[in-house]
Structure 1
């Protein structure tokens, strides 16, 4: 095949995946996916706003926001990520349509289209969350959050959400019972609630704890003076590399297994 022919095939495949992603987004709209995300995000921001309103009475340091938001994320976002992945796969699971779909399109394209749909939805959710948190902080009287630190927070949060969504999508594609993936989301949210109290050698094995592990803010408490001191720490690139590598591995293994799925 000539170089031009290869480019034409690649371009056609990309357009096909783009159309599949658009179709998946339309399916999600029928399943009220955006409404579910908006409702869960609204509860998250209400909790975050309530906590921030109490803390601003002590200090207006913006680092309080960057410390509090990952803590709230560890509770809400694992479940939200699981719900997104489960909803994206729910139509085919309910109708047992996998065999029909796999006779009409490549398994790899179907898997990638559903994963990319999760990426787009979660990216939108995280973008709105980070922007809204900054607005809430400014309204309450906190210092403005630097753009660079907001960007690091966005990247860190999305990376952990995509790991959870990748694992849950894999479970959805191989397990017909959608209750199992949702249980995984609930379990990760429950663990996220206590992740900050776990020893470091344990928390590194808990996916939801990475919302806090990737934080760029440190906190120290002086028991003698009862004063909390906030500090900026270097972005833990090592933890970020771990979550990215594990996500890539989960994606690659799941894609390979799904590609071998018999129609």
Structure 2
């Protein structure tokens, strides 16, 4: 037991030492600032009717914004944490001191730390935006927790992909390019038929949105309605995420250095 604890603490300390002075916390913080500014920029134009459905508006908007922003954010986080070993070509030397599986897992856990900082921060930001914009709608707390949970789940699968690509690529431009392309694919997938949209990994943020929107072009009035949560899709996505992580991890462990 002591040996296991010692190995965990040494791996944890090693990853933390690598991240010193790299300011990776600025990545999730910067994306949170972008979200806050995007949602609150029209604060002064909100009418009484808008304020009465303010949280519905936010919980509808955030998944759409996450489709665009989070593929890029996960790509940047994974690239920033993996580029030291890749650029320095030190993997062969590192494997003499640390198991491949330990290196892969601890690197992923540290990336997850920054991802959770974003998703939890986004959840906290929802009531803060409500107070800032003076929403009169009651805060739907269960839907906020649901939003944080589904956002974290989809982001985890994207992080699995970006983590794998960053460790497999000698040049970090490729993983960043995949994140950027995924952002556009996720956005366009919202206009695909449902059967086709299921195959676009980056578009699942909007698949779990709790609200839909109706827009009357004649009166220019928006209205929001609740969408039943797709439990079957959610369970299948969890199973896919676990399977995908195992496949990516197995391929990396068999890679020749």
TM-score w.r.t. structure 1 length?
A: 0.87
Matches within 5 A, 1:163-242: 163-222=157-216, 226-242=220-236
1:46 aligns with 2:37: yes
Aligned pair count reads: 254
Q: Separation in 1 of the partners of 2:71 and 2:156?
A: 10
Matches within 5 A, 1:1-263: 8=1, 12-13=3-4, 16-50=7-41, 54=45, 58-60=49-51, 61=53, 62-142=55-135, 143-222=137-216, 226-262=220-256
Aligned to 1:3: none
1:208 Cα deviation (Å)?
2.0
Residue deviations 1:117-172, cap 9 Å, x none? 12111011111122113211222122242221111100110111111110011111
Segments of structure 2 that go 5 or more residues without pairing to the other structure are none
Q: Separation in 1 of the partners of 2:42 and 2:192?
A: 22
The root-mean-square deviation of aligned C-alpha atoms, in Å, is 2.2
1:92 Cα deviation (Å)?
0.4
| Conserved? CA contact 1:71–1:211, under 8 Å | yes
Q: Separation in 2 of the partners of 1:29 and 1:56?
A: 47
SS at match of 2:153: helix
1:27 Cα deviation (Å)?
2.4
Residue deviations 1:12-57, cap 9 Å, x none? 4355235423432442343221123222321222112225665556
Segments of structure 1 that go 5 or more residues without pairing to the other structure are 1-7
SS at match of 2:228: coil
